[in-house]
Structure 1
């Protein structure tokens, strides 16, 4: 993934000092918290600076070329955390149905472990505009992730693990169901997200599994 209109300093992580890298990470972490709490549109530099304990928004502007640049790093960080959390759990499973269940359950287990990350990601991607070059690339990334998941479902169909269905429709239904739980968790603090994950995993297992003799 290529960075958007950043300065040479911002585009060259290897050139940053430890302090600069730590400050950028602090700002991104604060941005995730603020976006999850007040939404994308209200996530101003002023709010983020206050949340991060910074003396001024100038500290954010020093490290990021603008809001798009900062939001890009928010998306990168959430995706990094999600990948590190989910991939080993999914790959530990040996059959298609178990991997599908684990994909759903680990998605929502991630929400329990990192309650602000997924809400922030959904907020940013929902508010991306087509003319936002720095963020538009992530729309393509999420579409590619859906495409890969649909292809895995088709592989399961080819070997007889899954019944016949439209894989693209199933992926979007599953993604929508997971995102709905993320939204509910924000509105209902006492929601048992783990139980929701198990229930969704059971629903989509039944919806996809090949029960033919």
Structure 2
């Protein structure tokens, strides 16, 4: 039996509050009492009614962050024409997320490392990231065959790109005044020069 509209709305309200609390005070301090207060609930009982425990709620936080970030990035990347423009759009939209939904990114950074290594949500998230990388590797090979990208080891380049994006995120976490838009443009320029075919 599916959830009612009201139940779904309440769950979404609690998940959003959990995102805000985790982003503000961190995973360890994201108690049900803090989350209930953030959600405007009179007690923690409503959270316990909808979620089996903190891990269950945090699994939904990861799912919601993944949904929001995918909905933001996917249409932009799909609309870009040509491999070079898709690469640039992927990088810039990835970094733009830091400005568009900062609480979501901060919450994800807090929650994922605190889920056990064998936690199904963490494993599922890592598997989803791996699927994206595998898809990107195939796209790189296709662009190389088409002459849009030069010859290079696709997996090495994608690993370097992931590391560069993560480094920008970590700098942003430590410096809220960091110009993420400029960082996104510069990173896109760097990887465009590193991948494009010589004229």
Same fold (TM over 0.5): yes
Deviations 1:154-209 (A, max 9, x none): 22122221122222222222122222222222221211111111011111111111
Say whether residues 1:183 and 2:170 are aligned partners.
yes
The 3 A distance-change label for structure 1 pair 128 and 166 is: farther
Distance of aligned partners of 1:155 and 1:127 in 2 relative to their CA distance in 1, 3 Å threshold:
farther
Name the CA shift for 1:134/1:91 in 2 (closer, same or farther; >3 Å): closer
Matched pairs, number: 199
Task: Report what 2:195 is aligned to.
Answer: 208
Distance in 2 of aligned mates of 1:21 and 1:193: 34
Q: 2 CA distance for matches of 1:34 and 1:109?
A: 22
The answer on whether the counterparts of 1:111 and 1:118 sit within 8 Å (CA) in structure 2 is yes
Structure 2 length as normaliser, TM-score? 0.91
Q: Are 2:62 and 1:75 equivalent residues in the alignment?
A: yes
Q: Shift in Å at residue 68 of structure 1?
A: 2.3
Q: How does 1:1-213 map to 2 (within 5 A)?
A: 15-211=2-198, 213=199
Q: Report the 3-state secondary structure (helix = DSSP H, G, I; strand = E; otherwise coil) of the residue aligned with 2:149.
A: coil
Determine the C-alpha separation between the residues in 2 that align with 1:171 and 1:127.
Answer: 26
RMSD: 1.8
* Distance verdict in 2 for CA 1:39–1:176, change over 3 Å: farther
| Residue pair 1:72, 1:134 contacting (<8 A) in 2 also | yes
- Structure 1 window deviating more from structure 2 (159-168 vs 25-34): it is 159-168
Shift of 1:63: 0.6
1:36 and 1:180, CA in 2 relative to 1: closer, same or farther beyond 3 A?
A: farther
**In 2, distance between residues paired with 1:150 and 1:73?**
29
How far residue 117 of structure 1 moved from its aligned partner, in angstroms, is 1.3
Runs of 5+ consecutive residues of structure 2 not aligned to the other structure: none
Question: What TM-score results when the alignment is normalised by the length of structure 1?
Answer: 0.85
Gapped regions of structure 1 (runs ≥ 5):
1-11
**Alignment partner of 1:43: what SS?**
coil
- d(CA) in 1 for partners of 2:113 and 2:151? 31
